[in-house]
Amino acid sequence: MMTDFAAIADRLALQAIEVPSWAYGNSGTRFRVFSTPGAPRSIEEKLADAAQVHQYTGLAPSVALHIPWDKVDDYAALRRRAEGLGIRLGTVNSNTFQDDAYKLGSLTHADPAVRRQAVEHHFECLEVMAATGSQDLKIWLADGTNYPGQGDFRRRQEWLAEGLTAIYQRLAGDQRLVLEYKFFEPAFYHTDVCDWGTSYVHCAALGPQAMVCLDTGHHAPGTNIEFIVAQLLRLGKLGSFDFNSRFYADDDLMVGAADPFQLFRIMYEVIRGGGYPPDSQVAFMLDQCHNIEAKIPGQIRSVLNVQEATAKALLVDGEALRAAQTAGDVLAANAIYMDAYQTDVRADLADWRQSRGLPGDPMAAYLASGYQQRIESQRVGGQPVSWGA
């Protein structure tokens, strides 16, 4: 028998999904950045847009920053600005892929001066974290090679370990280093942190404050991502998710767009493995750029997709599933799993939101609010922020 929705309602209230500041600026493909009416011109306007997502969904209480894209003179003031909007500043993301010095790598560059520059940039990010109250420093590296023989795999891994160690040693007691991996791109022959195993090896060597970040788009086609989730949770090393969908070769489109069943399977393993609140150390984040769709609605739809998958995963009758698995009843086990996935929870979620003072249909409520029309008319002049700026 499937779990009743009423039995999971309180657990749904524990969910929090961090949104990325860069989701609100102009973005595009590798060929062009497209301009969008009402695009924010500053991090302060990005925060205002992000606050709309939380206002209508109740799911997005924090915003991830990207340095130097979101660099300001006074981070304490920025923190107060966010709190005044009813949100907080979250993960700080470093950037070692948009400086000419990093053309051939950053933490894995053959030149020790470049490696030191990359380390110093992460020290700067840690200072930002101290001012914003952020817990996590997220590191994604574009480092890799395009040609056989271009670089020495082993030396690059040793340089990477040295750089990560220097950064790790600067962490405060309540801070974490989360190391993201990426299957490929922009380096296509080899990538220095290309899979969960490589990230795990480095994080395990660093210590308990180093965790793996799993981006749902950064895998080869056909990869069983939920198995990776289960394994990292078993090892105590899953620190965070970057949710998105793999239609742009790797990532950046709305989570659940490519394979909503996969998102359900992932969330089931998160819940099964203790990665869901209240006792979880796993941070849930979006990592998306909205190129052809409206920015704020794109983020609203994304967090709602995660919530829907979570609700369905919570509906799985765990006791019945374990009994069927133990008995070797393949069809019964699969039916229990699929019954939860195929349940239409949209009406229940709408009622759940309304019972908590939220609109039953957050997307319709946002569109009716007039906020989009206001920012399009008010944000005239100045330089809109965009991917890479």
Instruction: Please state, in angstroms and rounded to a whole number, the distance separating the CA atoms of residues 317 and 331.
Output: 15
Query: Is residue 106 over pLDDT 90?
Result: yes
- pLDDT > 60? residue 228: yes
Residues in the chain: 389
Examine the pLDDT at 221 and tell me if it is beyond 90. no
pLDDT in tens, 306-333: 999 999 999 999 999 999 999 999 999 9
pLDDT at 346: 97
d(CA 1, CA 3): 7
Among residues 130, 120, 114, the alpha carbon closest in space to that of 171 is found at 130
Q: Roughly how many angstroms between the first and final C-alpha of the chain, as a whole number? A: 52
Task: Name the strand (E) or helix (H) holding 213.
Answer: strand 210-215
pLDDT of 5 reads 95
Is pLDDT above 70 for 389?
A: no
pLDDT value, residue 231? 98
Instruction: Report d(CA 243, CA 136) in Å as an integer.
Output: 16
Instruction: Give the span between the Cα atoms of 294 and 130, in whole angstroms.
Output: 33
**Rounded-to-integer distance, Cα 298 and Cα 32, Å:** 19
Contacts 24+ apart (CB under 8 A), 77-81: 78/43, 78/44, 78/47, 78/132, 79/131, 79/132, 79/133, 81/44, 81/47
What CATH number matches the domain at 16-316, 3.20.20.70, 3.50.50.60, 3.30.70.20, 3.20.20.150?
A: 3.20.20.150
Q: What is the tens place of the pLDDT at every residue in 51-85?
A: 999 999 999 999 999 999 999 999 999 999 999 99
pLDDT single digits (tens) 119-157: 999 999 999 999 999 999 999 999 999 999 999 999 999
At 166, list the tokens.
């220097």
The mean-pLDDT minimum among 107-116, 150-159, 183-192 falls in 183-192
Helical (H) or strand (E) element with 178? strand 176-180
Q: Which tokens is 208 given?
A: 């308990």
- Position 162 pLDDT exceeds 80: yes
- How far is it, in rounded angstroms, from Cα 40 to Cα 52? 13
Please state the rounded mean pLDDT for residues 19-37: 89
Task: Give the burial string for 303-334 (b: 16+ CB within 10 Å, else e).
Answer: bbbbbbbbbbbbbbbeebbeebeeeeeeeebe
User: What's residue 11's pLDDT?
Assistant: 95
pLDDT of residue 27: 87
